[in-house]
Chain A
Amino acid sequence: AQSVTQPDIHITVSEGASLELRCNYSYGATPYLFWYVQSPGQGLQLLLKYFSGDTLVQGIKGFEAEFKRSQSSFNLRKPSVHWSDAAEYFCAVGGSSASKIIFGSGTRLSIRP
């Protein structure tokens, strides 16, 4: 069955500190993996995606994620967070065309001044 686990419900980091948000997935075939960000009252914005090639992918706003097939993980990282990064982050998994996209429960990121 297709599923996504985000073990951290809420994370607080200091501005300027590094960040890692965890994501583990279960998928029967080659996964397409995504990280989305959601600000209050807004829809979801794609940060980055992985579906083949280099396992370290770069996204917008200085985020990157690393796909580790052996660990079924796709963790999101940022070397130095900004106050504007405070939001809800969702990891998602899907497949090739016409497949559904399943989301994790999200991690809320707070930034300490």
Chain B
Amino acid sequence: EAGVAQSPRYKIIEKRQSVAFWCNPISGHATLYWYQQILGQGPKLLIQFQNNGVVDDSQLPKDRFSAERLKGVDSTLKIQPAKLEDSAVYLCASRNDRAGPEAFFGQGTRLTVV
């Protein structure tokens, strides 16, 4: 079975620019997570979707971050405008709640804001 796909793998932008990340979860996985992982830290949950509805976005900086999951499949995470402190790896994960409690992760997108 194909894993979680993310693109791009790397992105370098200047501060105040906008950027978008894309995630394609494992087929049939209803739950989708976006995490931010700053260098040397653990992943921090930004937003959780159940199908195309938001379950938890309490840690999402909504003044600059937005996310959507159209049709309950693919998801995009956007940052506008970016700040230097947004430099991190953005990880997408998906979960099939009927098969097990664990999440499966993509390889992530490394964002550098200069």
**Are A46 and B102 interface neighbours, CB within 8 A?**
yes
Q: How many residues of A contact B (CB 8 A)?
A: 26
Question: Inside 8 A of B41's CB, which chain A residues have their CB?
Answer: 105-106
CB nearest to B53 among chain A residues: A98
Question: Inside 8 A of B102's CB, which chain A residues have their CB?
Answer: 34, 46, 49
B78 to chain A minimum Cβ distance, whole angstroms, is 21
**Are B43 and A44 interface neighbours, CB within 8 A?**
yes
**Are A44 and B91 interface neighbours, CB within 8 A?**
yes
Q: How far is the CA of A87 from the CA of B43 in the complex (A)?
A: 15
Question: Inside 8 A of B95's CB, which chain A residues have their CB?
Answer: 101
B42 within 8 A of partner (CB) = yes
**Are A32 and B101 interface neighbours, CB within 8 A?**
yes
Q: How many residues of B contact A (CB 8 A)?
A: 28
Question: Inside 8 A of A42's CB, which chain B residues have their CB?
Answer: 107-108
B60 within 8 A of partner (CB) = no
B48 to chain A minimum Cβ distance, whole angstroms, is 5
**Are B42 and A90 interface neighbours, CB within 8 A?**
yes
Determine which residue in B35, B43, B55, B98 has the highest number of CB atoms from chain A within 10 A of its CB, and name it: B43
Q: How far is the CA of A112 from the CA of B38 in the complex (A)?
A: 27
B63 to chain A minimum Cβ distance, whole angstroms, is 22
**Are A49 and B100 interface neighbours, CB within 8 A?**
yes
**Are A104 and B42 interface neighbours, CB within 8 A?**
yes
CB nearest to B10 among chain A residues: A41
Q: How far is the CA of A98 from the CA of B12 in the complex (A)?
A: 33
Q: How far is the CA of A57 from the CA of B42 in the complex (A)?
A: 23
Within 8 A of B (CB), among A20-54: 32, 34, 36, 41-46, 49, 51
Given contacts A43-B105, A100-B48, list 18 more A-B pairs with CB under 8 A. Answer: A36-B105, A41-B110, A42-B108, A43-B107, A44-B105, A51-B101, A90-B42, A94-B101, A97-B97, A97-B101, A98-B50, A100-B33, A100-B55, A100-B56, A101-B45, A101-B93, A101-B95, A103-B44
Using a CB–CB cutoff of 8 Å, the interface residues on chain A facing chain B are: 4, 6, 32, 34, 36, 41-46, 49, 51, 90, 94-98, 100-106
Using a CB–CB cutoff of 8 Å, the interface residues on chain B facing chain A are: 4, 31, 33, 35, 41-45, 48, 50, 55-56, 91, 93, 95, 97-98, 100-108, 110
